[in-house]
Amino acid sequence: MYTSGWFVLLPIHLLTTHEVPWVPTRYELISHIMRIARVGPGDVFYDLGCGDGRVVIEAAKRGAKAVCIEIREDLLRQAKENAKKACVYERIKFIHDDFFRVDLSDATIVYMYLLTRVNEKLRPKLQRELSIGTRVVTLDFAIPKWRPVHIEKHYTGGLERTIYLYIKGVSDVFTETV
Q: Which is nearer to ligand SAM, 138 or 171 (CB)?
A: 138
Closest contact distance (angstroms) between CB of 135 and ligand SAM is 16
Closest contact distance (angstroms) between CB of 158 and ligand SAM is 17
Q: Which is nearer to ligand SAM, 16 or 177 (CB)?
A: 16
Distance of CA 106 to the CA centre of its chain: 15
Closest contact distance (angstroms) between CB of 129 and ligand SAM is 15
Cα–Cα–Cα angle for 82, 163, 115, nearest 5°? 80
Chain residues in the site for ligand SAM (CB under 6 A): 18-20, 22-25, 47, 49-51, 54-55, 69-72, 75, 98-100, 113
Q: Which is nearer to ligand SAM, 17 or 169 (CB)?
A: 17
Closest contact distance (angstroms) between CB of 119 and ligand SAM is 12
Nearest position to ligand SAM, beta carbon: 49
Rounded CA-CA distance 108/128 in Å is: 14
Q: Which is nearer to ligand SAM, 44 or 69 (CB)?
A: 69
Using alpha carbons, select from 139, 83, 97, 135 the residue that is nearest to residue 114.
139
Q: Which is nearer to ligand SAM, 6 or 144 (CB)?
A: 6
Rounded CA-CA distance 119/142 in Å is: 7
Closest contact distance (angstroms) between CB of 174 and ligand SAM is 26
List residues bridging with 139 in a β-sheet.
163
Q: In what order do the strands lie in the sheet with 109-112?
A: 92-96, 65-70, 44-48, 109-112, 135-139, 159-167, 150-156
